[in-house]
A = this chain, B = another copy of it.
Amino acid sequence: MRKPQVLPSEEVPQTAAVLLDSLRARSPRVHCITNSVAQNFTANVLLAAGCVPSMTLSSEEIGDFVAGAHALLVNLGTFDCERRTAAERAVEAARRGTIPWVLDPVFVDRAPARATFANLLIGRAPKVLRLNRAEFAALAGGEPTESALAAYARGHGVTIGLSGATDWIADGERLATVANGHVLMAKVTAMGCAASALVAACLAVEPDTWRATASALTIIGVAGELAGARAEGPGSFAVAILDALHKLDAPTLIVQAKVT
Report the interface size class on chain A.
Answer: 35 or more
Is residue A236 within 8 Å, beta carbon to beta carbon, of the partner chain?
yes
**A242 near B234: Cβ-Cβ < 8 Å:** yes
**A235 near B56: Cβ-Cβ < 8 Å:** no
Measured CB to CB, the nearest residue on chain B to A113 is: B60
The secondary-structure label for the interface of chain A is helix
Give A211-260 interface residues, CB cut-off 8 Å to B. 231-236, 238-247
Is residue A190 within 8 Å, beta carbon to beta carbon, of the partner chain?
yes
Chain B residues, CB < 8 A from A235: 44, 48, 238-243, 246
Measured CB to CB, the nearest residue on chain B to A243 is: B233
**B239 near A236: Cβ-Cβ < 8 Å:** yes
Residues of A in contact with B (beta carbons under 8 Å apart) = 35-41, 43-44, 47-48, 53-61, 64-65, 68, 77-82, 84, 107, 110-114, 186-190, 231-236, 238-247
The 5 lowest CB-CB distance pairs between A and B, nearest first, are A233-B243, A235-B242, A61-B111, A43-B189, A235-B239
